Chain A
Amino acid sequence: GAGVSQSPSNKVTEKGKDVELRCDPISGHTALYWYRQSLGQGLEFLIYFQGNSAPDKSGLPSDRFSAERTGGSVSTLTIQRTQQEDSAVYLCASSLDYQSTDTQYFGPGTRLTVL
């Protein structure tokens, strides 16, 4: 079946512009996660959704970052007034439910470059 998809695959933007990154989870998966990976770094957890709800947003790097999920499916990660340090690969994952034993399936990521 279809896996997690993300769009765009690559995004180049100018400093100060807003960007939206999209994630389509696997159909039927209620939990959705956003991570980012900066060059040479490990994955950094940003936020998760259980259904349309994000119980804890403390992992978001700053108030320029926001995320929403509608209809228990598609999620959008928005970065306002982008900065060069926002350049990274943004990865989305989904799992059947929000349980520690549920495997997370990752999308291919969106590579964001802020000039």
Chain B
Amino acid sequence: DAKTTQPPSMDCAEGRAANLPCNHSTISGNEYVYWYRQIHSQGPQYIIHGLKNNETNEMASLIITEDRKSSTLILPHATLRDTAVYYCIVENNFNKFYFGSGTKLNVKP
């Protein structure tokens, strides 16, 4: 299984871009990269996912390096409501779908 490594916490100023890194050096060719976030006391919320191409949706952008060993989630204009724990997950077998501890993003005014 491809495990992920994320910094435990990050700060970001409101209105600025938040760039959340994730290392997944053991990723396999058919494994996707997923990002979820969990706002305090709520269930996880899907953000975005990708295989090898960069992806963008209304919430965020996902940049995956060419060797696929790392990725970055970009929130282009962070707001206070984006304060949450962000999970990077790499797995194609839900038998062992593990979130890890994530990155606590603190968006500050």
What residues make up the interface of A, taking CB atoms closer than 8 Å to B? 4, 31, 33, 35, 41-45, 48, 55-56, 58-59, 91, 93, 98, 100-101, 103-109
Contacts and interface: CB of A to CB of B under 8 A. Distances in A.
Interface stretch (B16-24, B37-45, B63-71): B37-45
Given A42-B102, A45-B96, A48-B95, 6 more contacts: A42-B100, A56-B95, A100-B31, A106-B45, A107-B43, A108-B42
23 contacts: A33-B97, A35-B99, A41-B101, A42-B87, A42-B99, A42-B101, A42-B102, A43-B98, A45-B95, A45-B96, A45-B97, A45-B98, A48-B95, A55-B95, A93-B43, A93-B44, A100-B94, A101-B32, A101-B49, A103-B49, A106-B43, A107-B43, A109-B43
Interface residues of B, number: 21
